[in-house]
A = this chain, B = another copy of it.
Amino acid sequence: MSDKSLNDYRFFDPHETVRKTAFELYESVRNLPIISPHGHVDARVLAENKPFPDPAELIIIPDHYIYRMLYSQGIPLESLGVPTQDGTVVEKDHRKIWQIFADHFYLFAGTPTGVWLSHEVAEVFGIEEKLESANAMRVYDRIAEKLQTKEFLPRALFERFRLEVLTTTDAPGDTLEYHKTLQKSGMKGRVVPCFRPDPVVNIKSTGWRNAIRDLSRESGVEVKSYKKYIAALEKRREFFKSMGAVSTDQGVESPYAHKLSPIRAEAIFKNALSGKATEKESQEFTANMLMEMARMSVEDGLVMQIHAGAMRNHNVAVFKRFGLDKGGDIPVQTEYTRNMHELLNAFGNNPGFTVVVFTLDESTYSRELAPLAGHYPAMKLGASWWFHDSIQGMTRYRERVLETAGVYNTVGFTDDTRAFLSIPARHDLARRIDSNYLAGQVARHIINDKEAAVIIKDLAYGLAKKSYKL
């Protein structure tokens, strides 16, 4: 790419025929509306619709993709203004933070973070120079200035981004007040919640008791037993559905699913309430709740999502000082064939049920996930996730999944982002990679151009809309 702008043909194969076809396919979907069926943008941002803060607070401080790379090169998180939980003072001068970032922007060469940031700077802010030490303050000022204009208010960007649906992720005890505000706001696009029970499922996590308290309050069911707990969850799912929710999501280290007897479930729940539950009981409880959530999805029609395979908070010192989601979640080997056996046997033959599975273990793409999704009517494969939501990562996903699962047992692209401004960058990248992948298939006469023209629209838009019942 030249120093000054984004090349139109970026990320496409250099072979002329492939590049040309890729570009045509991309052009046919470039401006399609965006369905973002799973992510972590805060509904409050859109509900309040206040100007975004300064560039550092918008782009660097909340984004673990960015500061984990800087941290890996010895730059303290404190110097990047990442807020602490233990009172340690952090850098307050956001210009200084931005300068550090610009000084080290070369670290992101060839990374998806680098690609997304370049897109944001050029396409969202219209700044045609590559960030570097020398222009850091100039770029900062230009972004800061734009953020104060009404064209850069969250809802204005929402429209400009052609967002048709944006899904947030919310705890069972969440009031969804900002979603209510948004529904009354007359805004064109949809912002829908997603039911994420993790805070009330992870019985050993520090916030569990508070999460149960919130669940009781919001459900109107006093959660004093496992039975009441299930009843409260069902009520909240009903409420989420009434607020537009179409899906749930569970983040689990292992996708092991196993139904406990009511007596055993009750006993573990009692132990959790009295603070005596063990690590093993917590794992059993999670396995049971995968079964319960699947059962509820069969009943209420919410699409079930499973994000498996991250060991959370690997870096204990970073976790203690900075809290959750600070770049220290590291993937582990993950097993699906045996672990999901009980769940798929109980519910997987039901074509009305949908369970979308995501992984961080690429060795499972062709070995386990594609064969499972290529057989069970209920199972679909989520997009290449997190570390694999990258140029090579998305390409590997297509290469390993599509031959066995086919296109139509996948669910299109999911950005899964906290960074609102990166949404168009991520979808644009995915649309480019998919266009390039299909163009390669056309050039090799594996599919023809008519087939490619249909498939690219499904990958970019149709599959997400259909799979998530939007």
Please judge, given known A-B contacts A337-B331, A363-B367, whether A403 and B391 are in contact too, CB under 8 Å. yes
> Does residue A279 face the partner (Cβ distance < 8 Å to B)?
no
A332 touches B368 (CB 8 A): yes
Binary flags per residue of A69-90, CB closer than 8 Å to B gives 1, else 0: 1011110000000000000000
**Which of A92-100, A236-244, A260-268, A308-316 is the contact stretch?**
A308-316
When each residue 313-332 of chain A gets 1 if its CB lies under 8 Å from chain B and 0 otherwise, what string results? 01111100000000110111
Chain A, residues 385-422, CB within 8 Å of chain B (1/0): the string is 00110111100100110111111110000000000000
Taking a contact as CB atoms closer than 8 A, the residue among B349, B361, B366, B454 that contacts A362 in the complex is: B366
Instruction: Report if A1-B338 is in contact (Cβ < 8 Å); known contacts: A109-B407, A370-B387, A377-B72.
Output: no
In contact, A110 and B406 (Cβ under 8 angstroms) = yes
Greatest chain B CB density within 10 A among A11, A74, A333 is at: A333
For window 330-358 of chain A, which residues contact chain B by CB distance below 8 Å?
330-333, 335, 337-338, 341, 344-345, 348-349, 351
Known: A71-B375, A315-B349, A330-B337. 4 other contacts (CB 8 A): A1-B445, A14-B444, A109-B451, A314-B337
Residue ID in chain B nearest A395 by CB atoms:
B399
Q: Tell whether, in the assembled complex, residue A13 and residue B110 are in contact, meaning their CB atoms are under 8 Å apart.
A: no
A2-10, A31-39, A200-208, A212-220 - the one binding chain B: A2-10
Residues from chain B with a CB closer than 8 A to the CB of A327 are 374-375
State whether A115 and B374 are in contact (beta carbons under 8 Å apart), knowing that A362-B363, A363-B363, A441-B110 are contacts in the complex.
no
Does A15 count as interface, using CB distance less than 8 angstroms? yes
A360 within 8 A of B: yes
